[in-house]
Structure 1
Amino acid sequence: MVQGVGFRPFVYRLAQTHHLAGWVRNGEQGVEIFLEGAEPSVERFVEELETEAPPAASISQVEVDPAKPEGFLDFAIRESERIDRPTVRVSPDLPVCDECLRELFDPADRRYLYPYINCTNCGPRYTVVLGLPYDRPKTTMKDWPLDAYCRGEYGDPANRRFHAQPVACAECGPTYFLQIGDERIFGAAAIERTAEILRDGKILAVKGLGGYHLACDARNGNAVRALRERKYRKEKPFAVMARDVEIAAQIVELSNETRELLTGIARPIVLARAKQQFPGVAPENHELGVMLPYTPLHHLLFASGAPEVLVMTSANRSSEPIAYEDADAIESLVGIADAFLIGDRPIARRVDDSVARVGAYGPAILRRARGYAPGAVATIPCERPILALGADLKNALTLVVDGQAFVSQHIGDLEHYTAFQAFEETIRDLLAMYEVKMDEVLLVHDAHPQYRTTLHAAQIAAKKKVAVQHHRAHIASVLAERGEWNRCVVGVSFDGTGWGDDGTVWGGEIFAGSVHEGFERVAHLRPAVLPGGDAAAEFPVQAAAGFLAQLGDLPDLCAAPFNFPERFRAARELVTKNVRCFGTTSMGRLFDTAAALIGFTRETTYEGQAAIWVEQLARRTAHRDGFEFPYTDGELDFRPLLTAVIQSRLTGVALETIARRFQVGVAHGISECLRTICKEQGAKTVVLSGGVFQNELLLGDLKPQLDVLGLEVWTNRMVPTNDGGISLGQAAMAAFARTN
Structure 2
Amino acid sequence: MAEELIGKKILVTGVVQGVGFRPFIFGLARSLGLNGTVQNSGNGVLILVEGPREPVDKFIHEICARPPVLASISQCQVGESPPQGFREFRIERTGGRVTGDSVVPPDAATCRQCRGEIFDPADRHYQYPFTNCTNCGPRFTILKKLPYDRPWTSMDKFDMCDKCAGEYADPGDRRFHAQPVACPECGPEVWLVDREGGKIEGDWLVNARRLLSEGRIIAVKSLGGFHLACNGLDPAPIRLLRLRKGRPAKPLAVMCRNIDVVREYCHVSPEEESLLESPAAPIVVLEKKNPFRLPDELAPALNGLGVMLPYTPLHLLLFADDLQVLVMTSGNLTGLPLAADNDRAMNELAGIADFFLLHNRDIVNRCDDSVVRHTCGGLQFFRRARGYVPEPIEMSSAVVGSEERDYVGAGGDMKNTFCLLKKNKAYVSQHIGSIDTVEGSEHYKESLHKFCELIGARPVRAGCDLHPGFKSSAIARSRFPAAIGVQHHHAHMASCMAENGLNGDVIGVILDGTGYGTDGNIWGFEILTGGYVDFTREFHLEYVPLPGGDQAVRNPWITASAYLISLLGQEGAAMAATLFPDKIKELGIVRKMISRKINSPFVSSCGRLFDAASAVLNICLENTYEGQAAIEIGELAPKKFCRLEPYRYQIEGHVIGLAPLLKAMVSDYCGHVPQTLIAKKIHDTIVSAILDCALRVRSQSGISRVVFSGGCWHNNYLLSAAIKIFKDNGFNVFVHNKVPPGDGGISLGQALVSYHRGGI
Paired position in structure 2 for 1:33 = 47
Per-residue deviation, 1:645 = 0.7
Q: Is the 8 A contact 2:98 2:456 kept in 1?
A: no
Per-residue deviation, 1:270 = 0.6
Deviates more, 1:595-604 or 1:276-285: 595-604
Q: Determine if the alignment matches structure 1 residue 469 to structure 2 residue 484.
A: no
Deviates more, 1:695-704 or 1:347-356: 695-704
Output aligned runs, 1:52-131, within 5 Å: 52-83=66-97, 85-131=99-145
Paired position in structure 1 for 2:182 = 168
Q: Is the 8 A contact 1:196 1:305 kept in 2?
A: no
2:670 is matched by which residue type in structure 1? L
Determine helix, strand or coil for the equivalent of 1:60: strand
Deviations 1:670-706 (A, max 9, x none): 2222222223221221100010111111112212211
Per-residue deviation, 1:211 = 0.7
Paired position in structure 2 for 1:328 = 344
Paired position in structure 1 for 2:261 = 247
1:152 is matched by which residue type in structure 2? G
Measured in 1, the distance between the counterparts of 2:421 and 2:362 equals 28
Per-residue deviation, 1:644 = 1.4
Q: Determine if the alignment matches structure 1 residue 238 to structure 2 residue 252.
A: yes
Q: Determine if the alignment matches structure 1 residue 426 to structure 2 residue 447.
A: yes
Q: Is the 8 A contact 2:39 2:45 kept in 1?
A: yes
Among all aligned residue pairs of Structure 1 and Structure 2, give the percentage whose two residues are the same amino acid.
39
Deviates more, 1:305-314 or 1:88-97: 305-314
2:175 is matched by which residue type in structure 1? R
1:612 is matched by which residue type in structure 2? I
Paired position in structure 1 for 2:411 = 390
Q: Give the alignment partner of residue 644 of structure 1, picking from 664, 668, 671.
A: 664
Q: CA RMSD in A?
A: 2.0
Deviates more, 1:275-284 or 1:129-138: 275-284
Paired position in structure 1 for 2:12 = none
Per-residue deviation, 1:401 = 2.7
Q: Give the alignment partner of residue 615 of structure 2, picking from 560, 574, 596.
A: 596
Paired position in structure 2 for 1:492 = 509
Determine helix, strand or coil for the equivalent of 2:527: strand
Q: Determine if the alignment matches structure 1 residue 454 to structure 2 residue 473.
A: yes
Per-residue deviation, 1:558 = 4.5
TM-score (structure 1 length as normaliser): 0.95
Q: Is the 8 A contact 2:100 2:457 kept in 1?
A: no
Q: Give the alignment partner of residue 666 of structure 1, picking from 683, 686, 693.
A: 686
Output aligned runs, 1:254-273, within 5 Å: 254-273=268-287
Q: Is the 8 A contact 2:614 2:621 kept in 1?
A: no
Paired position in structure 2 for 1:481 = 499
Per-residue deviation, 1:280 = 1.0
Distance 1:228 1:601, change over 3 A: closer
Deviates more, 1:287-296 or 1:326-335: 326-335
Determine helix, strand or coil for the equivalent of 2:636: helix
Per-residue deviation, 1:564 = 6.4
Per-residue deviation, 1:85 = 4.0
Measured in 1, the distance between the counterparts of 2:61 and 2:615 equals 59
Paired position in structure 2 for 1:633 = 653
Q: Give the alignment partner of residue 585 of structure 1, picking from 599, 604, 608.
A: 604
Paired position in structure 2 for 1:724 = 744
Per-residue deviation, 1:631 = 4.0
Per-residue deviation, 1:170 = 0.7
Q: Give the alignment partner of residue 219 of structure 1, picking from 233, 239, 246.
A: 233
Measured in 1, the distance between the counterparts of 2:620 and 2:219 equals 35
Measured in 2, the distance between the counterparts of 1:23 and 1:69 equals 12
Measured in 2, the distance between the counterparts of 1:619 and 1:555 equals 31
2:440 is matched by which residue type in structure 1? A
Measured in 2, the distance between the counterparts of 1:487 and 1:273 equals 38
The unaligned stretches of length 5 or more in structure 2 are 1-14
2:546 is matched by which residue type in structure 1? L
Paired position in structure 2 for 1:443 = 462
Deviations 1:453-473 (A, max 9, x none): 12222332x352222111111
Output aligned runs, 1:542-581, within 5 Å: 542-548=558-564, 549-552=566-569, 553-554=571-572, 556-563=574-581, 565=583, 566-581=585-600
Deviations 1:319-351 (A, max 9, x none): 322111001111111121111111111111211
Deviations 1:116-168 (A, max 9, x none): 00000000000000111000000000000111111111111111111100001
Per-residue deviation, 1:227 = 0.4
Q: Determine if the alignment matches structure 1 residue 509 to structure 2 residue 518.
A: no
Q: Is the 8 A contact 2:641 2:717 kept in 1?
A: no
Q: Is the 8 A contact 1:199 1:306 kept in 2?
A: yes
Distance 1:231 1:192, change over 3 A: same
Measured in 2, the distance between the counterparts of 1:105 and 1:84 equals 39
Q: Is the 8 A contact 1:628 1:669 kept in 2?
A: no
Q: Determine if the alignment matches structure 1 residue 184 to structure 2 residue 213.
A: no
Q: Give the alignment partner of residue 150 of structure 1, picking from 154, 158, 164.
A: 164
Measured in 2, the distance between the counterparts of 1:713 and 1:698 equals 14
1:586 is matched by which residue type in structure 2? S
1:714 is matched by which residue type in structure 2? F
Q: Determine if the alignment matches structure 1 residue 408 to structure 2 residue 429.
A: yes
Q: Is the 8 A contact 2:640 2:717 kept in 1?
A: no
Determine helix, strand or coil for the equivalent of 1:184: coil
Q: Give the alignment partner of residue 364 of structure 2, picking from 348, 366, 374.
A: 348
2:364 is matched by which residue type in structure 1? A
Q: Is the 8 A contact 2:417 2:432 kept in 1?
A: yes
Deviates more, 1:147-156 or 1:178-187: 178-187
Paired position in structure 1 for 2:11 = none
Determine helix, strand or coil for the equivalent of 2:630: helix
Measured in 1, the distance between the counterparts of 2:18 and 2:357 equals 27
2:256 is matched by which residue type in structure 1? A
Paired position in structure 1 for 2:329 = 313
Distance 1:401 1:592, change over 3 A: same
TM-score (structure 2 length as normaliser): 0.93
Output aligned runs, 1:195-214, within 5 Å: 195-214=209-228
Q: Is the 8 A contact 2:528 2:535 kept in 1?
A: yes
Measured in 2, the distance between the counterparts of 1:84 and 1:139 equals 16
Q: Determine if the alignment matches structure 1 residue 300 to structure 2 residue 317.
A: yes
Measured in 2, the distance between the counterparts of 1:13 and 1:350 equals 35
Deviates more, 1:85-94 or 1:361-370: 85-94
Distance 1:449 1:258, change over 3 A: same
1:271 is matched by which residue type in structure 2? V
